[in-house]
Amino acid sequence: MTSQEQPSTDWAPPPRPDWLKTFLDESKAWNGKAVAPLQADELIETAIRQTGFNDFGPDDWREPFHILVKAIEEEADLNLFGRLWTRQELVMFLETRLRIEAEYKAHPEIEDEEIDQPVFVTGLPRSGTSILFELLAQDQQFLAPANWEFVLPCPPPEAETYCNDPRVPRAHDLITQMGRVAPTYQAMHEMGAWIPNECGVAFRLSFRSQHLAATFQVPTYTNWLFAADQEPAYRYYKRLLKLLQWKNPRGHWLLKAPEHQSFLPVLFKVFPDARVVITHRDPVKAQGSVTNLMGTIYWMRSDKPFDAAAFEELLTPEGTAARLDQMIDWIDGNDIPAGQISHSRYADLMQEPVEALEALYAKMQFRFTAETRAAVNHYLEQKPKGKFGSHHYAVDREDSTRQLFARYQSQFDVPSEE
């Protein structure tokens, strides 16, 4: 690391918007725990009372939910706005589970829906998974879930009203909240009701989600999550996808999340005919980016200083290298079906996106039609680089850090970014 670069633990938050500063100043004398209580049993009772339902489905969500809520209360140090926002979201996740189970109880035929050869995009955070996902979504043979469907999936979307569903405005407001709380976030991750979002957003319904670990500084929950069985999250996700396609039929689902890379054996167990695309980028560069991203997300709800060391399993180069090596071991050891996995280099996608996409199609044995090419070109023209501002972050260039990723970069021919 050069003398001009700061370690991730010295990350400094951007200024808060005026409206939020005013709110926090005006409410600083309030009793936040009384105004927005975060107690697991009370939140569950509130969701039951609000919906009139009491069946949450399989009980494997309860342990992580209780661990998460306890960790938020004891470790996250939320400000009042953060408490209000968090309470609203937790109750909404619980209500959604209740409504999903009510739909299945009323219409047991939903269980007969088949998820046919879904395509999953995964890779390191900030390695090009989002832009690749959005480009693939331009192809009509791949149907990605719109962000609003994950946020408000009940009642199940219907084909006739899908494009003008009355829930979209509310979902858009909920989804874009992060950009209003931290305007710099818009330069890191574009959000909107119709933009496809990550599977981790849906995993929140099982409370086994890296999205939740990335929302709060809760090391107790994070440590539990990385040691936990992720199969319940994938099985409930499949349950959600069946519900979403029931009245709005899909071809091949197009899905995406960086965390899939760490759970490939489970993914293929639950979705045995899946096709997986793994993006590859210089891990040193991606590491600096995700640290800045997470620091910003934590800061949205809390004034607590960002402590990257508390999340070393998720953030440190050693933890990242271990997960990458594990993925290589799975592939080399035939623990996952290598023939169902394709690879995409970030450098190629950034330099020649259309050509890189066409090469990827050939690897996946899908047709790259003239219509798809035109749709992709049009999308790229409407989404110039830097449209939402520049995203700057420091990069650790120590030789010891670089060496940690030597095996990974060699295995997938990943160039270093200096």
CB of 35 within 8 A of CB of 41? no
Neighbours of 59 (CB within 10 A): 8
Which residue do the tokens 């619980």 mark? Answer: 94
Provide the Cα torsion 362, 365, 370, 371; round to 10°. -130
Domain boundaries 112-412, corresponding CATH code? 3.40.50.300
User: Would you list the domain boundaries of the chain?
Assistant: 112-412
pLDDT string in tens for the chain (418-residue length):
333 333 344 667 889 999 999 999 999 999 999 999 999 999 999 999 999 999 999 999 999 999 999 999 999 999 999 999 999 999 999 999 999 999 999 999 999 999 999 999 999 877 888 889 989 999 998 989 999 999 999 999 999 999 999 999 999 999 999 999 999 888 777 789 998 888 999 999 999 998 999 899 998 999 999 899 999 999 999 999 999 999 999 889 999 998 899 999 999 999 999 999 999 999 887 665 566 778 889 999 999 888 766 554 456 788 889 989 999 999 999 999 999 999 999 999 999 999 999 999 999 988 999 999 999 999 999 876 554 334 444 444 567 788 999 999 999 999 998 6
How far apart are the two ends of the chain, measured CA to CA in Å? 12
CB count within 10 Å of CB 39 equals 15
Q: Measure the CA–CA gap between 137 and 144, rounded to whole angstroms.
A: 6
Query: Do you know the residue count of the chain?
Result: 418
Alpha carbons within 13 angstroms on the beta-carbon side of residue 275 total: 16
Which amino acid is residue 273, in one-letter code?
A: D
- Smallest CA-to-CA distance from 45 within 90, 106, 81, 101 is with 90
Q: How many CB atoms lie within 10 A of CB 20?
A: 16
Phi, psi of 253 (to 5 degrees): -60, 140
pLDDT for 4 equals: 35
SS3 349: helix
Paired residues of 196 in beta bridges: 146
Q: What is the DSSP string of 226-286?
A: HHS--HHHHHHHHHHHHHHHHSS--SEEEEE-GGGGG-HHHHHHHSTT-EEEEEE--HHHH
Strand, helix or coil for residue 128: coil
Cα dist from 235 to 148, 242, 255, 304, 387, whole Å: 21, 11, 15, 35, 37
Indicate yes or no: pTM above 0.85.
yes
Residue bearing tokens 């798809």: 372
Neighbours of 388 (CB within 10 A): 17
The answer to whether 50 and 92 have CB atoms below 8 angstroms apart is no
Question: In terms of DSSP bridges, do strands 142-143 and 252-256 run parallel, antiparallel, or are they unpaired?
Answer: parallel
Residue 236: both structure tokens together: 């409930």
The pLDDT of residue 398: 61
